[in-house]
Amino acid sequence: MDGLTLIDVLSRWAHVGAAVVLVGGSVFTRFVLMPAAAGLQESEHIALRERIMGRWKKFVMAGILLLLLSGFYNYLKVAVPAHKGDGLYHGLMGLKMLLAFGAFFLASVLTGRSPKFDAVRADAPKWLVVLLLLTGSVIAIGGFLKVVAKPRPADASVSILQESRPGA
Ligand code: HEM
């Protein structure tokens, strides 16, 4: 295995690992922690939330950084050459990136302190579900591209997805 292949593998691990931690943490927060903490007194509830958010925020920031670095590395170094000329692949990848940026923004707002977004944090159970729908769509597109859009030789210019559509 040469140096670059090793970086490719590390970058995949970082990408999938960060996604697992962030999405898993959000599912736990929304469907385990929030219902369990709902019975606490207001003062206890606020204190617990402050302590959890202080720690979880570091995971969110590090996870976003890892997803961005590994995602752009995977895309520019691996996917662009392997899917040259495949418009559908790059279109879906562009959509994946936009949805991911939306998810990063929402995750930052939910763990942040800016008074501008107090209303979003006050309705955190709803916005966490929106965050999970966004990340779920990002994962679905990522997994779909990995399985369906097979890499093609560098000179190919027709989408493998288009080829499978009658009349394309
Ligand atoms: C919420 C944030 C994100 C999540 C949860 C996520 C998740 C995933 C998952 C599950 C895969 C499939 C991995 C595999 O099967 O090996 C994947 C692939 C990929 N992701 Fe992400 N991702 C996120 C953000 C990003 C961003 C911001 C970029 C680019 C800037 C990006 C670029 C890529 C690329 C290039 C692939 C490879 C697709 C292929 O195999 O052709 N991702 N992502």
pLDDT tens digits, 104-158: 999 999 999 999 999 999 999 999 999 999 999 999 999 999 999 888 665 444 4
Ligand 1 center–CA 65 separation, angstroms: 13
Flag whether 168 is in a domain.
no
**Closest-lying ligand 1 atom to the alpha carbon of residue 151:** 41
pTM of this prediction? Answer: 0.88
54 is a domain residue: yes
**Residue with token string 């691996």:** 78
What is the number of structural domains in the chain?
Answer: 1
Atom of ligand 1 nearest to the CA of 104: 1
Asked whether residue 37 is assigned to any structural domain, the reply reads yes
Q: What is the pLDDT of residue 154?
A: 53
Q: pLDDT (tens digit, 9 = 90+) per residue, 18-69?
A: 999 999 999 999 999 999 999 999 999 999 999 999 999 999 999 999 999 9
Q: What pLDDT score was predicted for residue 165?
A: 52
105 close to ligand 1 (CB < 6 Angstrom): no
Q: Is residue 58 part of a domain?
A: yes
Residue 161 pLDDT class (50, 70, 90 cuts): low
Residue closest by Cα to atom 4 of ligand 1: 19
Question: How many whole angstroms separate alpha carbon 168 and alpha carbon 34?
Answer: 49
Distance CA 91, CA 72 (A): 15
Per-residue pLDDT tens for 93-115?
Answer: 999 999 999 999 999 999 999 99
Closest Cα partner for 125 from 104, 110, 141, 109? 110
92 lines ligand 1 (CB under 6 A): no
pLDDT score, position 160: 52
**How far away, in angstroms, is 102 Cα from ligand 1 center?**
14
Cβ neighbours, 10 Å, residue 87:
13
Report which protein residue has its CA nearest ligand 1's atom 25: 71
pLDDT averaged over every residue in the chain? 91
Q: Is residue 133 part of a domain?
A: yes
Q: Decide if 73 is inside a domain.
A: yes
pLDDT cut 70: percent of the chain above it: 89
12 lines ligand 1 (CB under 6 A): yes
Q: Which domain holds residue 147?
A: 3-163
Distance CA 8, CA 92 (A): 21
Indicate whether residue 97 lines ligand 1 (CB < 6 A): yes
Q: In this structure, are residues 24 and 135 in contact, taking their beta carbons and an 8 Å threshold?
A: no
Say what the pLDDT of residue 168 is.
Answer: 43
149 Cα nearest atom in ligand 1: 41
CA distance 99 to 138: 6
